[in-house]
């Protein structure tokens, strides 16, 4: 398996065609996986915003005041409002905001970025990252580059372990996970590990070569990796019913 960053991408602006920009700079082949950082997808989709666009609700003001009291740092209620508008559910409200975005991804501040945004205050995540991935995949196909899987990636933290790692937000041309059920180990026992989140692992692998910041390369080509002969699933984001940690956080927030 080989990972190559796509270099020399320009600063992305609203309306830019990411498929075209990548196709001109990368030597893509059928079977490749292309990862694209959500920052440039968001920029192409015009997901920049300014805080003055967010009239503050009572709830946002309450959240910002509480955060300010706990952290001792100034908190802009307009930012809290932006987080709420991008979210379906608030899982943790202090000392930081952890929410479920409208497309099911759980992250701090609904994944809203305050760096990497020229001429605007904030950058929202793509509205529907799987549709974004499909659009890029179709754009490549329209240029004769068929059979390239596309993953829209982000980085985020997690419980239990320090540090951020790359994750998938949306994907096209590849299932989110592959299923090893029914496979046997060397001794003929059925495997305990059954579902492998390949899109997250590909996003993590890509994040090792993209870098962050000024020298960052927001797109990566993964070659010589194959999904193989497995059943696949597109369920990546857990529902509350299926997630004891979300259940515990709910009770904990209510008790609070």
Q: Could you say whether residue 55 binds a copy of itself (CB under 8 A)? A: no
* Binding residue (CB under 8 A) for a copy of itself from 20, 51, 92, 141: 92
Q: Could you say whether residue 255 binds a copy of itself (CB under 8 A)? A: yes
Nearer of residues 116 and 138 to a copy of itself, judged by Cβ = 116
Q: CA-CA distance, 77 to 70, in Å (whole number)?
A: 15
User: Largest Cα–Cα distance in the chain?
Assistant: 63
Q: CA-CA distance, 148 to 2, in Å (whole number)?
A: 15
Nearer of residues 72 and 213 to a copy of itself, judged by Cβ = 213
Q: Is 216 annotated as a binding residue?
A: yes
Stretch near a copy of itself under the rule CB under 8 A, chosen from 58-66, 76-84, 127-135, 195-203 = 195-203
Total number of residues binding a copy of itself (CB under 8 A)?
Answer: 69
Q: 137: phi > 0 → left, psi -120 to 50 → alpha, else beta; which?
A: alpha
Q: Minimal CA–CA distance to 199: which of 34, 46, 8, 60?
A: 34
Strands 2-5 and 33-37: unpaired
Q: Could you say whether residue 147 binds a copy of itself (CB under 8 A)? A: no
- Say if CB 210 and CB 220 are below 8 A apart: yes
* Binding residue (CB under 8 A) for a copy of itself from 29, 88, 114, 231: 114
Query: Which positions touch a copy of itself (CB under 8 A)?
Result: 1-3, 11, 92, 106, 113-118, 155, 158-167, 176-177, 180, 183-187, 189-193, 195-198, 200-202, 204-205, 207-209, 212-214, 216, 225, 233, 235-238, 242-249, 251-252, 255
* Residue ranges of the binding site for GTP: 9-12, 38-39, 43, 116, 210-217
């Amino acid at each position: 398996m080989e990972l190559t960053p796509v270099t020399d991408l320009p600063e992305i602006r609203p309306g830019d065609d990411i498929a075209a920009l990548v196709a001109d700079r990368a030597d893509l082949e059928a079977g490749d996986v292309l990862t694209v950082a959500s920052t440039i997808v968001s920029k192409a989709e015009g997901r920049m915003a300014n805080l003055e666009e967010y009239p503050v609700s009572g709830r946002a003001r309450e959240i910002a005041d509480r955060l300010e009291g706990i952290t001792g740092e100034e908190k802009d209620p307009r930012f809290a409002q932006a987080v709420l508008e991008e979210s379906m559910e608030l899982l943790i409200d202090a000392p930081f905001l952890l929410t479920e975005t409208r497309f099911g991804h759980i992250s701090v501040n609904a994944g809203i970025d305050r760096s990497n945004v020229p001429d605007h205050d904030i950058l929202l995540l793509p509205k529907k990252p799987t549709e974004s991935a499909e659009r890029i995949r179709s754009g490549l196909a329209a240029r004769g580059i068929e059979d390239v899987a596309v993953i829209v990636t982000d980085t985020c933290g997690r419980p239990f372990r320090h540090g951020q790692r790359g994750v998938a937000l949306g994907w096209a041309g590849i299932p989110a996970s592959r299923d090893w059920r029914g496979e046997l180990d060397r001794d003929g026992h059925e495997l305990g590990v059954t579902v492998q989140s390949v899109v997250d692992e590909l996003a993590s692998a890509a994040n090792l070569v993209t870098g962050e910041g000024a020298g960052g390369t927001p797109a990566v080509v993964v070659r010589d990796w194959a999904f193989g002969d497995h059943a696949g699933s597109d369920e990546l984001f857990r529902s509350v019913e299926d997630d004891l940690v979300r259940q515990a956080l709910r009770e904990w927030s209510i008790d609070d």
